[in-house]
């Protein structure tokens, strides 16, 4: 296979945010990167600084854009915002911890935890809808940059969807894999076939502190 026909997407999760650090659900809301989150973004930038990329995309949510801007400054690239790379909209849960959500909306908490991929959280969206949007956005970006190397900054839910899509895992199946803030993941596309080349690489974060699982 000609290497020039392979499209490569380096996909990273944003750095840690203040709400990540206390377990508060963000969805389409936002909170600032912590000092650790900024250091994580800088570590991503350092890790990819010597590589050549053709474009830099990011979810248009603030925490991803802030991470992408730090990476972009190091690479000398402008960030292209893409709404399709957003985290799942968590509706009434947004801004709450899971304990608060369980206390205030026990029925919705039970359904959210129940694994039904088609359950639509009030004011939000289903896991399946966000999965489909995430995969569609990645396909669009890959198609737009066929044969090129792209950096994508996004969220844990989007990465989860890409992992499941590429490995053929059901969207409703329990998650038994890790998703780290600022982890580096690589997907390749050749002749329409997606492959996972690297997952959960955190070597560049050594010494920065513990990364909480999503």
Q: Where are the domains of the chain?
A: 3-205
Name the pLDDT band for 86 (thresholds 50, 70, 90).
Answer: very high
Q: Pick the catalytic residue: 87, 131, 155, 165? A: 87
The pLDDT, as a whole number, for residue 210 is: 57
Average of per-residue pLDDT values in the chain? 94
% of the chain residues with pLDDT over 90: 90
The predicted pLDDT at position 121 comes to 96
What is the pLDDT, as a whole number, of residue 4? 62
The pLDDT score that the predictor gives to residue 1 is 47
In the predicted model, what is the mean pLDDT of residues 32-44?
A: 97
CATH number of the 3-205 domain:
3.40.50.1240
- Active site (annotated) includes residue 16: no
Per the annotation, the verdict on 14 as an active-site residue is yes
| Dihedrals phi, psi of 29, to nearest 5 degrees | -80, 180
Of 12, 21, 36, 74, residue with least CA distance to 209: 36
Catalytic residue among 8, 14, 16, 89, which? 14
Amino acid 202: pLDDT: 95
Cα 89 from Cα 184, distance rounded (Å): 24
Q: How far apart are CA 212 and CA 214, in angstroms?
A: 6
Q: List C-alpha distances in Å: 138 to 19, 145, 174.
A: 26, 11, 22
């Amino acid at each position: 296979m000609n290497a020039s026909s392979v499209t490569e997407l380096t996909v990273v999760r944003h750095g840690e945010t203040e709400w990540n650090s206390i377990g508060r659900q963000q969805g389409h809301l936002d909170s600032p990167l912590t000092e650790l989150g900024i250091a994580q973004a800088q570590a991503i930038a350092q890790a990819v600084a010597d590589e050549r990329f053709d474009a830099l995309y990011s979810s248009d949510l603030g925490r991803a854009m802030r991470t992408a801007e730090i990476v972009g400054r190091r690479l000398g690239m402008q960030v292209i915002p893409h709404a399709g790379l957003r985290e799942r909209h968590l509706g009434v849960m947004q801004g709450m911890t899971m304990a608060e959500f369980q206390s205030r909306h026990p029925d919705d908490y039970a359904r959210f935890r129940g694994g039904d991929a088609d359950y639509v959280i009030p004011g939000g969206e289903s896991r399946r809808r966000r999965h489909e949007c995430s995969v569609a956005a990645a396909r669009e970006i890959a198609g737009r940059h066929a044969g090129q190397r792209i950096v994508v900054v996004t969220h844990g839910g989007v990465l989860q969807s890409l992992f499941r899509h590429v490995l053929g895992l059901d969207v409703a199946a329990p998650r038994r894999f890790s998703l780290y803030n600022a982890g580096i993941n690589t997907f390749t596309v050749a002749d329409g076939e997606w492959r996972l080349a690297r997952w959960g690489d955190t070597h560049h974060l050594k010494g920065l502190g513990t990364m909480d699982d999503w």
